[in-house]
Each structure stands twice: as C-alpha cells, then as structure tokens.
Copies of this chain bind each other. A is one copy, B any other.
C-alpha cells in the first residue's frame, strides 16, 4: 500500500504545526502572569498593607482570568480544527502564523487593560482588548475557511456535518466580539464582561 507512508508523512507535517502552535499558545498564556505587578515595598508606605495593595489590583486578576480562559478556549478550538485538517501547504502555514501572532499579542492589551481599567481612559483600554479578540476571531474564520473550502486540507473521509457545524459556530465569533468592541465605547465593564462571559460560555461543557 503506497498510501501508508504518505499518510504518515502528512500526519508528521500537521503534527509539527500542531506542536509549534501548542508551544506558542502555551508560552503566550504563561507570559500573562508577568504582567501582574508585584507590589513593591515603596508602594505600601505605612498607611496601607500588602493585603490592600494586592486587593487594589483586582482589575489585573480579572483581566488575567479572562485572557487565560479565552486563549485556553482558542487552544481547544485549534485542537479541534486539527482533528479534521490532514494536510498543509505554504498558505496554510502563513495563515496559521498570523493567527498565532494575534494570540501572542494578547498579553499586551491585557496589561493595558489591567493598568487603565479604573481610569478615565478605561474605554480605550477595553476597545483595544476586545479589538484584539475580534482580530483573532476573524483569523480563525480565515484559517478554517482556507482549510475547509471544498475540503482542501481535510481528510478524504472528513465528517461533513461536523465540518459544517464548525463553520457555522466560527462565524459567530467575530460578531460576538464585535458586540464587546462596540460596548467598549459605552461601558468598559460591560465590554470586558462580555469577553469574560464568552470565555466561560465556550468553556462550559455541552458546546461542541
């Protein structure tokens, strides 16, 4: 059977893309913690306690949680795509790279949001934050659209119903994050709340 070595070659190929992507997701998610500031001795000048200084940083913890959960969900989704994708080509590598670039950007808006959430500039921070998620959601659609169009990079035996379900579900992503982006100009809390709710919603079992 000449098909065997070929399949193995293909699997090795998508396997290396998956491994590289996993590495980038894993590092992006782990770097988030570096954006949480350590209260310095000088920041707690007699009149306060370390506990209060830590408590005062609550927007940083909420941003951390929301970003971590969101990137985690994205990783789960990436994982799911590669259950169907069996081949790769140069365009796919580049599109996947652009998606990874957007994912590695996440620590930046997370840190901006943490720092500026309770200032008059909070809406700009929330728009930046949800805007990055809009970009990521769009890039997921582009990547999947490229791979799935006429089954381009899917296995010959791919499950059409499941593929169509992913396509439908992914189309919702940019819309939902656009709502969060629009809300940023009204209320940054509402905008970030939608981002957090989306992460929790997609994390809950039952959605598949």
Contact = CB atoms under 8 A, between A and B. Distances in A.
A49 to B, nearest CB: 6
**Which secondary structure characterizes the binding site on chain A?**
helix
Interface in A63-107: 65, 68-69, 72, 75-76, 79, 89-91, 93-94, 97, 100-101, 104-105, 107
Interface string A5-32: 0000000000010111011111111111
A68 B24 CA distance: 12
Interface in A19-47: 19-20, 22-36, 38-41, 44
Q: How large is the interface on A (under 10, 10 to 19, 20 to 34, 35 or more residues)?
A: 35 or more
Interface of A: 16, 18-20, 22-36, 38-41, 44, 49-51, 54, 65, 68-69, 72, 75-76, 79, 89-91, 93-94, 97, 100-101, 104-105, 107-108, 111-112, 115-116, 119, 121, 124-125, 128, 203-208
